[in-house]
Structures are given as C-alpha cells and as structure tokens.
Structure 1
Amino acid sequence: MNKKPLAHRRPGRRAAVAVGLALAVGLGVSAQVPAQASVHAPAKVSTAAPQSVNGTSGQAVTRVADFYGAYIDAKGDYTDPDSTLATALRKHYLTPDFAKRLTAWEEKNEADGVLRAQNVPAHWTVTDNGAVGNGHEVIVTLTYGSGETTQKTKLFVLLERYDHIADISTTSNR
C-alpha cells in the first residue's frame, strides 16, 4: 500500500485544479457555466453519415451549382431576402444577352426566370448533361414544397464556352 499523502501522489491534478480555479476567478462566473456544461455534457452520437459537397474550379456543373446555391440563399431568406445579392449574382453569372431575355420572360410570366417560379425551392440538385456545341448543358432539378406535396421542375442550363449562363429553359438544347 502506498503511504505517501494524496498531495504528493498527484501533483499534476492539484496544479490543474489550481489553474482552473484561477481561470474561473479571472474570467468570472459567466465563463464557468458554459465551460462546466461542455465538460460534463454527453457527446451526441450521430448515426447519419457526414454530408459533403465536391466542386472543381472551371467545371460547368460546379459553376451552375454555385450560382443556384447562392441565388436560392439570397432569394430564400423570407425574413430578409437579399435582392441586391441576387442581382449581383445574375450580373456575374449570366451573359448580358441572356440577362435581357430573362428579364423579358419574367415580365411576361410574372415569375423569377432563374427559378421559373414565384417562390423558392426547398431542395435542388445539379447534374452534368455534357457538351452541347461550343457550350455545356447542366440539368437543375428544383423541388418545391415538402412532405407529400412536392413538385419538381427540371431546368436545362446552357453555359457558353467562357462559363457564363447563356440560357435556362425547360427543354434540353440537345
């Protein structure tokens, strides 16, 4: 049996307690509660696989996914939609000629031409559809609604050779 006093057997623990006490006094009570809660809280175990998104600079499908993701985020914040950002994204990603045609389509149809709807989708997927002439076609599938009441819209997005969106339609350019 070890006859040494407890203080001599665990000097590291004693120092850690002293440092913790000094930090608690220095930081105040408000810092103690979150620190204590995080130390004693059980770890949450997730059974779902982590989600990942891949992209490659200069790849058509990545460029369209970036545009639609940012555009939907800008339009979809119902408490504070960012129309300035949505306009800037359109200016950056769309060809000037297509931007004019899209504006005319929107006035005629009273809907957002990028989304082909008056509201914002809950989900979207972007799929490569291959080369078309000197450009590239990407399929964007937008899902509106949730649960059992969903509606899907399939859009065909044509990128010109310089990676600007030259057309969005409901039919393929193939």
Structure 2
Amino acid sequence: MSVRSRKTLLTAVALTAGLSLAAVTPALAGAGANRTARAGAVSTAQGDPRDVTQHVADFYAAYIDSARATDDPSAATGAKALRGFYLSSAARAKVAAYEKRRHADGVLFAQNVPVKWKVAHTGSGAGHATSRVTLTWSDGPHARVTGIDVLSDLKTLEITDLKPVR
C-alpha cells in the first residue's frame, strides 16, 4: 500500500470517527437546546465492517454529514477523502463528469443535501452487490424521496458505480 493510499485511508477513518463521535455525543449526553419527543427516544447503531451494504451506509452517513457542514471549512476536504477511500477510480471519474455536466453533487445527484437516508441490499452476483440508497429531502407527509443504486465489489467493498433511480 502506498504512502498516499495509507494517508487517504487514515484521513477517511479519522473523519468518519470524528463525525460519528460528533453525532453520538449529544445523544449520549441526553441534552440539547431543542429537545423534542423524538430526541428522548433511545437510539442505537451497530455495524459490521465486512458487510458490503453497511459499507455503503457508512459512506453515505459520513458523506451527508460532511455535505451538511457548510460552515466547516474542512468539510470539503473530508468529502473528498471519503470519495477517495470508498469509491473506485472509475466511480470517482463518473461522479466528476456528472458534476461538471450538471453542476450538482455526483454522489447525491442533487444540489442540496437530504435530511434522511437509508440503505438496503437489493441483490448480488458476479462478484458485486447492489444497494439501494433512499434519500428523503424534507420532513412531513409529502417529502420528496429519490433513490440511487450503488454497485459495490464484494471482495474490496469499494463502490464501483452509482446510478440515480428513475
């Protein structure tokens, strides 16, 4: 593994850990200025770093956190590091081409950031797995929802393709 690859990996791991800690700390403290009924509910999370769907979920969780942090100057660097760690070079090239063509984020296929996301395994074969990422763009009963099909390599867990669901 090259020094650059190790540095990118370490940056992505540190960013993911920091974002996870920032997200979990208020919940663990049980305090918040805007405490709502939902905030009082117990929330748990767990994961398996060997699971391809979990890998996609980890990427989208950290990426969306980074994209939402518009007031943090390091957020753009973090998003780039996440892309470098989770996406194959071909997927990064496809994302960059989409962004140049559409002037929108090529991971989210949008110009803004969703308020919620979820990931579900939808199939596997020929050494790849497909996950469906569902993005919710607002709260309320008429929230807009979009989907992205994410193809991942089962051996490396690397995301090799992203396609918006039409």
The residue number in structure 1 matching 2:159 is 165
Once residues 64 and 48 of structure 2 are traced to their aligned partners in structure 1, the CA distance between those partners, rounded to angstroms, is: 20
Determine which structure has greater relative contact order: mean sequence separation of CA pairs < 8 Å that are 6+ residues apart, divided by chain length: 2
Once residues 110 and 124 of structure 1 are traced to their aligned partners in structure 2, the CA distance between those partners, rounded to angstroms, is: 22
Once residues 165 and 138 of structure 2 are traced to their aligned partners in structure 1, the CA distance between those partners, rounded to angstroms, is: 22
The residue number in structure 1 matching 2:114 is 121
| Aligned pairs (5 A) from 1:1-174 | 49-80=41-72, 82-161=75-154, 162-171=156-165
| Number of equivalenced pairs | 127
TM-score, length of structure 2 as denominator length = 0.70
Once residues 109 and 133 of structure 1 are traced to their aligned partners in structure 2, the CA distance between those partners, rounded to angstroms, is: 31
**Structure 2 unpaired stretches of 5+:** 1-36
Once residues 125 and 136 of structure 2 are traced to their aligned partners in structure 1, the CA distance between those partners, rounded to angstroms, is: 25
Aligned residues: CA RMSD: 2.0
| Letter of the structure 1 residue corresponding to residue 101 of structure 2 | K
> Rg larger in 1 or in 2?
1
1:171 Cα deviation after fit: 4.1
TM-score, length of structure 1 as denominator length = 0.67
Greater shift after overlay, 142-151 or 52-61?
Answer: 142-151
| Letter of the structure 2 residue corresponding to residue 131 of structure 1 | S
Q: Deviations over 1:74-119 (max 9, x none)?
A: 1101322600000000000000111111101111111101101001
1:60 Cα deviation after fit: 0.8
Once residues 115 and 74 of structure 1 are traced to their aligned partners in structure 2, the CA distance between those partners, rounded to angstroms, is: 12
Q: Secondary structure at the match of 1:106?
A: helix
Identity of aligned residues (%): 35
Q: Deviations over 1:55-76 (max 9, x none)?
A: 1121011101110000001110
Q: Deviations over 1:119-151 (max 9, x none)?
A: 110000111112132101111000002224521
Greater shift after overlay, 145-154 or 46-55?
Answer: 46-55
